[in-house]
Structure 1
Amino acid sequence: MSAPAASIVPKEHVGLSGAEAARRLAEHGRNEIQRGETRSAWGVLLEQFRSPMIALLLGACAVSALLGEHADAIAIGAIVVLNALIGFAQESRAERALLALRSMTAPRARVMRDGYAVQLPAAEVVPGDVLLLEAGDIVAADARLYEAHALATNEAALTGESAPVDKAARPVAGDAPLAQRTDTVFLGTAVTRGTGLAEVQATGMSTELGKIAHLLASTGETETPLQKRLEQVTRTLLMACGVVVVLVAALGLWHGEGWMGVLLSSISLAVAAVPEGLPAVVTIALALGVQRMAAKHALVRRLQAVETLGSATVVCTDKTGTLTTGTMEVREVWGPDERAVLFTSAACCDASLGPDGKEGTGDPTELALLRAALAKGIRREELEGERPRVKVRPFDSETKRMSVLRADGVLYVKGALEVLLPRCRAGTEGAVEATRTLAGRGLRVLAVARGQGEEEEGLELLGLVGMADPPRPEAVEAVAAARAAGVRTVMITGDSPETALAIGRELGIVRPGEDAAELIHARVTAEDKLRIVRRWKERGEVVAMTGDGVNDAPALREAHIGIAMGRTGTEVTREAADLVLTDDNFATIITAIREGRAIYENIRKTLVYLLVGNVGELTVMLAASLVGLPLPLLPLQLLWINLVTDSLPALALVMDPARAELLSRPPRRPEEPMLGGHQWRHILLVGALEAAVVLGVFIWADPEQHVERARALAFSTLVFAELLRAFAARSATRIFWEVGPLTNRLLLGIVLFSAGLQVAIYELPAARGLFGLGALHTWELGLTFALGLIPVTALELSKLLRRGFPHHPSPSGRGTG
């Protein structure tokens, strides 16, 4: 209900008229966070099919359909659709983040209109309106204060400042940092105490919150290192496949083969070149990582985020609530009688602790004082019963102190030392030096005094209380683990430089002799955070960014991986992030880095395993064409090898457990490709060895006279070689028994199962006819198994030989196994 303005505000602050407010609403628009122009859903969906990997998958799908393998075509098509849907979901996250920003604005506001205080929808607030503020309100717009009575607002989500900000009507320079504009209240922040009057200066997208929305809309999704590396591999495969297919088709025509024979050869080579199991392998590897991380307090919103974090070289992290507990705590008490200091602090408080002694209502600083007092057995409830209040002078940003006169005649006072010191007649010796020492450690210092009567003169200074938002104990270990893993931790906070540096040193982010300006950034805005992330990216680093406030959201989207706090984080931050920590614990990030490294290692060794098989198949087909031999393998046989005897072991390889030493190595270089020179040499050499064995048995079997028997021998030899080589693929430096045969029982089971299927093909006449194979004797099957042992034996022997040359780089990793 409206009330006369004179009973609430001075006459000079009677507000706008209804007509003027309507005119300004039409001029400035509604006080809302606007959504930018969006693409159609169909346009976003179609864009997901514009990548080399998708082209490769569609090619494999078409080949399978041409050969009548409809089940394979459907499976590959399903993978294409799944990838497209995941990409579609990623593109829509920015819009959801902007919607979350809109939800932060106050639903209603109290303003002066036509001389009366009225409530109206916050969207109708216009520049020039007079806001009436009191504790519990959500500020409806950016506004300059006329009056402030013990007013404080919580701006942590906007500025990163951990403690409530005291507000005053004294003008502050317009170019002051956001966290230091004490004469202004901001849209979306909460009033924690006091009352005030403020004139609206900006609404909607012109507010500080609106500027963050602009930044959020201007930042795009960053392509992950895994996506880039897989696209490089895919392009290489496409080019190689095209060259070989054209070459073989030309050779076939030159040898006088008919068009049907040439088409059959080309299709066979295309099938041989395409690793159909790769998309499934990558998807399953990332999905397993998602499951493991969910069990360790991290929810993954995007599959690639798990692997990307394993590539991280820099973690830019917010301080409040991430590296620290997010609550104020008494860290040190200075004075001759600690109990007297805490008793007086509790006697001069308006806050109240909850039944558990931890949570409560009121100012975070006072809650910290009450928790410290409770630890000494001092309860404010008992104090209020024994010594009721007689008179209270509340804290005010002008006086910088609070006093409470109680029934025992004692005046309990707390405030800034510079204010209390002139009013004290005793206990002041060493107080100034102690204040400097405590402040130098990044502590917020409060002076505590007492006197007789209600006059705040002739007081006795009891001591000082140093408070801070303390580091999480596990964060200290996590920062050390990140450093050991070669990952730099960069702290970004809205707190003061002194507090930030003290916490940074306590956490071990900065060590003696290191440049603090590089690793610690204080008093930063949303624009500063975005600029810091971009600067690290320009230096070629893979950047992870953590945060919980609205001002973190643009930087989270700009980073290679954004990590939001699930408990204390805003909805805006969670929507903009790739990973959400349900325990708000920095240590969980280090666990995720280890998991990400394991996933990358498994994907790379599995990719090497698959490509060795593809190179072997291509070499067999190409070499036979060059010398004019019949096709050693038919398209259906190649599909069987790729989808059953290659892809099934690959799925088991990608599930290998993570090794303990992963965090003792430096991160991968950002420019390092998925497959470097060492990996390609390994692929070509082992693939050539497999091809030589298969071609040897094919030629020995006299294909000109007994082509079906020759193909049967070649087919069986290649299948056994692939299955057995899976055991050697688990490590680049350790032989099969050292890795532990039973540490991946799934692989052992799959190899035995696939080998059984292979033998069954030869035992069933219908299966032999389907695959175009001749019958084999038992000794011939034994021969193909023995020949299949040659590649894996050569690989295991090479590992033993390389141990005499410790500096020789491994073929599938940087000296790792």
Structure 2
Amino acid sequence: MLVAPAPSPPPTSLPLPVTGLSEAEAQRRLLANGPNAVASAAGDNWGRVLLRQFRSLTVAVLGAAAGFSFAFDERAEGFAILAVILLNALIGFWLEWNAQTSMAALRRLGVSVARVLRDGQVRAVPADAVVVGDVLLVEAGEVVAADAELVEAQQLQVNESALTGESMPATKQLTPTADGAPLAEQRNRLFKGTAVVNGTGRAVVTGVGGATQLGAITTLVQQARHTATPLEVKLENLARQLIFITVGLALLFVVVGLLQGVSVVDLLKTAIVLAVAAIPEGMSIVATLALANGMLRLARHQVLVKRLAAVETLGSTDIIFTDKTGTLTQNRMAVHTLWLPDGRVELAAGTPSLGPGHSLNDAATQHLLRVAVLCNNATYSPTDADAALGDPLEVALLALAHRSQFDVAGTLAVGRLAEQPFNSDTRLMATLHRHTDGQGWVAVKGAAEEVLRSCTSVQTADGLQPLTAQEQTRWLQRVDELAQAGLRTLALAYRVVPTAGQPDWAHELSWLGLVAFLDPPRPEVIPALETCHRAGIRVIMVTGDHPATALTVARQVHLPFDAEYGAITGTELVHLLAHPNGAGRRRLRHTAVFARVSPAQKLDLVSLYQQQGHVVAMTGDGVNDAPALKKADIGVAMGLRGTQVAAEAAALVLRDDSFASIVTAVEQGRIIFTNIRRFVLYLVSCNLSEILVVTAAGLAGHGMGLLPLQILFLNLLTDVFPALALGLGKGSPKVMHDPPRHPQAPIMRPGDWRLATAYAVLMSLVLLASYYAARHYGLASAAVGNNILFYGLAGAQLLHVFNMAGVGTPLRHNDVLRNGYVWLALALCIGLLLLTYFVTPLRTLLGVQPLNQLALGLILAPAVAMLVLGQLLGLGLSKRAKR
């Protein structure tokens, strides 16, 4: 029966189920059990971050070289090597510390104030002062401060999507749920960190701090150990390979030297030179700066990178686990389908009308929109949709009316005479309004079976028609059809009544039809998923929502999935993981939609695919995503709608929540890896040439050939700047047309090692030919010969950069030539080389002697020869590969 609405009395005047704790007892429990705070993972202090920069095999080898230099009283070399180590560490520390401090504001999730009942009075207390046994008061717009069990609920709805993945708010009730029921089905409980969107309630606190669901998930986050990224592993393995090569050559050199009667001290000094030559000291600097450049590019696309190596790792990702709510969808309900008596209409997002063949002016449509507006307690403005308040379904109904250009303001102006709120018994909401000729107008919405039971007629475009039993059965079948598609439905009806007295609203209603709702997909998701598919990246949806809803969203966003396997639920996943067999493994391998999945199961899925050798990225925004975000190779959190816990666990944070930004990050990651591979090939070939030159000179009895400081100078300047220029390249526009790299593929593949060795041999041969020509024919002294070798190596390495465009790429199509950074690096390096000749302190430090024109010619000849021979080598390899 309709009743006139009355203002609610203040909370303190309502009858209380309990009087709450006393203030003294609350303080005692707070002291005994601690505050209601969820522990967050503390960031490393600056000392740990700095210390981490020194934990590498490269640093250990250079440190040993510095120690030997000091032992042999070669102080200049020792301090120079230590300066290189310190420079690398400071650059890495600065970038990592900045990334960590930028996330300092994302350290905790919770609310600052909570309302509790103590000593029979409602009091506002700090959220962390809530204790077990407190009576917690909640209402729309508040965030729940602790886990609690309801004792009162009036139209209470709570948005638990951050914990469960459910798009729709959970309607709360007092009926106890079964033990062990999933969070989404625990209707009589409230959970810390969730948001109340409608109604009021009171609940007795049962868990605080770490004992809450939020606290349990945070524990999972802290327990999910993060492993080194593939790039970090590959760079470390590359350093090991270079050191292994150096050790082999050093042993050969020592054996030969001992056989020739060379002193042990001289042999050890040469070993120091080989150690310095073997390690491209600038590689870590260049890799860090190349990643930092990628980080800055992504920042312009609203992507915050917390760990630099994460950018490259995302580029090698072949599996992306994505949440549904708020990631693929907008996390707001919208009308998806209208099923009117005259036909079914599916509405696309942003459609301004009801579609072709349906007039806004026919009676059926006008009545439906009128009910949608009048039987509604939400607020909505088309100019500020984000400010909407109320039940999401009611907000969606108002949005539909505005999109259809219905007179919302004029309709609401008639006023409301009475209301029957929705409750779990009647499963209906009804409102009474003034109508023409002194009559009243009843607007009804609710569950289809309940509304149909009260209808005797159906409103069509041609007028009212009798509603038969067969027609009622067909409407119920349509409800099932919509539910199978993952849509939530409401039935709408109306009745014209006399205003005198209260009508018996439950009879003689006129049926208007069904409204079906769905959380609409984000508009940029479809092209982003198409790009992922083209790039060979498999996208898998993992959500806590209903399987039918998840599959419907998958179809809408064109997520490829095998209809034969459908969706796997969390319950099925437990069995498949506990009892694996051929069919089960096959189903896991082909399933792209997982529904009703718990946070722990998301973690299990990430681990499962990592164990199979995949590089896994995990996207999400809720607290329930945080453990998997941390465990994944790359965790990608949504920054706008995401929780602080998720952002803290992730490696990347999308400031615009756009799935398309993930594609941009993948593209940048691939470009960065291509650039890294290019400059690593350049550095390795250059450093191998230095090793070969030093070894060959020593074996020929001409001493070390090059001084340690000269090699350090080359590695830090003439190597670093060209390599950095290569690392800043813009990349190919077709980079997303290729499949992902094999996750275990090293930076230097066997073919790359062969190519680098070939380049190094060529460079060594032309340099040694020039050097021995000068020494053999008496054209230069030992000191001048050293300078010819030093400057010749510098020139050959500088021009060698143009061989890095790709095997067989002719100079006229060489993108390195079009790279402005390369020309800037060459100009800078030439300037620094001139300084070493004209600045006296530098000349003295590097042992530079006055050079004549002949010496200059012997320096330039190997540089030009290296460019020509490098191009010929690439052309020959290219023709061989085409056969």
Give the corresponding residue for 1:378. Answer: 406
Aligned: 1:484 with 2:515: no
1:655 matched to 2:733: no
Equivalent position SS for 2:385 = coil
Call closer, same or farther: CA 1:758–1:340 in 2, change over 3 Å: same
Is the Cα–Cα contact under 8 Å of residues 99 and 305 in structure 2 kept in the other structure?
no
Distance across 2 between alignment mates of 1:117 and 1:763: 83
How much has 1:395 moved relative to structure 2?
2.3
Question: Structure 1 residues 582, 126: CA separation in 2 closer, same or farther (over 3 Å shift)?
Answer: closer
Aligned letter for 2:370?
A: F
Report the equivalent of 2:755. Answer: 682
Residue 613 (structure 1) aligns with: 686
Q: For residues 13 and 435 of structure 1, what CA distance do their matches in structure 2 show?
A: 42
- 1:664-688 deviation line (CA, Å, top 9, x unaligned): 1111111111222112222222212
Question: Does the alignment pair 1:438 with 2:482?
Answer: yes
* Unpaired stretches in structure 2, ≥5 consecutive residues: 1-8, 343-363, 459-466, 498-502, 569-590
Q: 2:543 aligns with which of 468, 483, 493?
A: 493
> Structure 1 residues 544 and 804 mapped into 2: Cα distance closer, same or farther (>3 Å)?
same
Establish whether residue 364 from structure 1 lines up as the match of residue 414 from structure 2: no
Q: Report the equivalent of 1:110.
A: 116
Alignment-derived partner of residue 647 in structure 2 = 574
Residues 1:603 and 2:671 aligned together: no
Aligned partners of 2:835 and 2:45: how far apart in 1?
A: 52
Residues 1:361 and 1:486: Cα distance change in structure 2 (over 3 Å): same
- 1:307: how far off? 1.0
Choose from 243, 257, 269 the match for 1:238: 243
Most deviating of 423-432 and 413-422: 423-432
Quote the residue 2:445 is aligned against: 414
Describe how 1:29-178 pairs up with structure 2 within 5 A.
29-34=34-39, 42=47, 46-56=51-61, 58=63, 66=74, 68=76, 73-74=82-83, 76-84=85-93, 99-101=107-109, 104-105=110-111, 107-111=113-117, 113-178=118-183
Deviation of residue 281 (structure 1)? 0.5
Deviation, structure 1 residue 309: 0.9
1:391-410 Cα distance to aligned partner (Å, 9 max, x none): 01122344322111101111
Partner residue in 1 for 2:807: 732
Residue 660 of structure 1 aligns to a residue in which SS? Answer: coil
Q: Measured at CA, do residues 792 and 364 of structure 1 come closer, stay the same or move farther in structure 2, by a change above 3 Å? A: same
Identify the match of residue 380 of structure 2 among 344, 353, 377.
353
Match of 1:462 in 2: 512
Change in Cα spacing, 1:460 to 1:239, as seen in structure 2 (3 Å) is same
Please state if 1:750 is matched with 2:800: no
Contact 1:768 1:775 in 2 (8 A): no
Please name the residue that 1:548 is paired with: 621
8 Å Cα contact 1:546/1:562 also seen in 2: yes
Q: Distance in 2 between matches of 1:73 and 1:161?
A: 56
Query: SS state of the match for residue 220, structure 1?
Result: coil
Against the structure 1 CA distance between its residues 92 and 239, is the aligned structure 2 distance closer, same or farther, given a 3 Å change threshold? Answer: farther
Residues 154 and 191 in structure 1, CA contact (< 8 A), matched pair in contact too: yes
Q: Check conservation: 2:63, 2:82, Cα contact below 8 A.
A: no
Give the aligned partner of residue 524 of structure 1. Answer: 597
Secondary structure, counterpart of 1:174 in structure 2:
coil
Q: For the structure 1 residues 247 and 704, does the alpha-carbon distance in structure 2 shift closer, same or farther, using more than 3 Å as the test?
A: farther
Give me the TM-score of the superposition, normalised by structure 2: 0.84
Give yes or no for contact 1:94–1:216 (8 Å, CA) kept in 2. no
Match of 2:368 among 341, 365, 369: 341
Shift of the 265–123 alpha-carbon distance from structure 1 to 2, 3 Å rule, reads: closer
Q: CA deviation at 1:741?
A: 5.1
| Residue 727 of structure 1, CA deviation | 0.5
Q: Which residue of 2 is the match for residue 814 of structure 1?
A: none
Take 1:474 and 1:240, find their aligned partners in 2: how far apart are those partners?
49
Q: Per the alignment, in what secondary structure is the counterpart of residue 729 of structure 2?
A: coil
In structure 2, C-alpha distance between the alignment counterparts of 1:745 and 1:47, rounded to whole Å = 34
Deviates more, 1:783-792 or 1:81-90: 81-90
The residue that corresponds to 2:500 in the other structure is none
**Structure 1 residue 441: Cα displacement:** 2.5
How far 1:781 sits from its partner (Å)? 2.8
Cα pair 2:100 2:306 within 8 Å, conserved: no
Alignment partner, residue 351 of structure 2: none
Q: Which residue, 196, 221, 225 being the options, matches 1:191?
A: 196
The one-letter amino acid paired with 2:613 is G
Q: Which moved more, 1:237-246 or 1:37-46?
A: 37-46
Native 8 Å contact 1:60 1:76 kept in 2: no
**2:227 alignment partner in structure 1:** 222
Moved more, 544-553 or 42-51: 42-51
d(CA) in 2 for partners of 1:54, 1:45:
13
Q: Which amino acid aligns with 2:374?
A: A
| Corresponding letter in the other structure for 1:172 | T
Q: Deviations over 1:6-46 (max 9, x none)?
A: 94235x53334556555654554433224579988756654
C-alpha distance in 2 between matches for 1:474 and 1:413: 36
Tell me which residue corresponds to 2:612: 539
User: Do the aligned residues in 2 keep the contact of 1:741 with 1:748 (CA within 8 Å)?
Assistant: no
SS in 2 for 1:237: helix
Q: 1:407 to 1:269 in 2, by over 3 A?
A: same
Match of 1:815 in 2: none
- Which region of structure 1 is more displaced relative to structure 2, 193-202 or 70-79? 70-79
> Mean alpha-carbon deviation: is it higher for 662-671 or for 623-632?
623-632
Q: 1:796 aligns with which of 871, 874, 879?
A: 871
Letter in 1 for 2:728: M
What is the percentage of aligned positions where both structures have the same residue? 38
Question: Do the aligned partners of 2:63 and 2:81 also contact (CA within 8 Å) in 1?
Answer: no
- Seen in structure 2, the aligned counterparts of structure 1 residues 645 and 60 have a Cα distance that, compared at 3 Å, is farther
Task: Trace 1:302-341 onto structure 2 (pairs within 5 A).
Answer: 302-335=307-340, 336=342, 337-341=364-368
- 2:802·2:817 contact (CA, 8 Å) conserved in 1? no
- Structure 2 residue 495 is matched with structure 1 residue 451: yes
Q: Give a deviation string over 1:311-337, Cα, whole Å, max 9, x none.
A: 111111111221112221112211033
Of 280-289 and 740-749, the range deviating more from structure 2: 740-749
**Aligned in 2, Cα 1:766/1:128: closer, same or farther, shift over 3 Å?**
closer
The answer to whether the Cα contact below 8 Å between 1:94 and 1:576 also exists between their aligned partners in 2 is no
Structure 1 counterpart of 2:716: 643
Kept after mapping to 2: 8 A contact 1:544/1:559: yes
Shift of 1:794: 3.2
Letter aligned with residue 708 of structure 1: A
- Larger CA deviation: 116-125 vs 370-379: 116-125
Of residues 254-263 and 623-632 in structure 1, the stretch that sits farther from structure 2 once superposed is 254-263
For 2:777 and 2:257, locate their aligned partners in 1 and report how far apart those are by CA, in whole Å: 17
CA distance 1:37–1:142, shift in 2 (3 Å)? same
Moved more, 595-604 or 787-796: 787-796
How well do the aligned residues superpose, as a CA RMSD in angstroms? Answer: 3.0
Corresponding residue for residue 691 of structure 1: 764
Structure 2 residue aligned with 1:13 = 18
Displacement after TM superposition at 1:767 (Å): 6.5
Output the TM-score relative to the length of structure 1: 0.91
The residue that corresponds to 2:698 in the other structure is: 625
2:289 paired residue number = 284
Residue 401 (1) aligns with residue 428 (2): yes
Structure 2: how far apart are the matches of 1:798 and 1:82? 37
Query: Which residue of the partner structure matches residue 301 of structure 1?
Result: 306
Contact residue 5 and residue 115 of structure 1 kept, 8 A: no
The runs of 5 or more residues in structure 1 that have no matched partner are 809-817
Q: Which amino acid is the alignment partner of residue 233 of structure 2?
A: K
Q: How many pairs were matched up? A: 800
Shift of 1:389: 0.3
Report the Cα distance in structure 2 between the residues aligned to 1:390 and 1:779, rounded to whole angstroms: 106
Deviations 1:148-183 (CA, angstroms, capped at 9, x unpaired): 221101112222212211111122212221112112
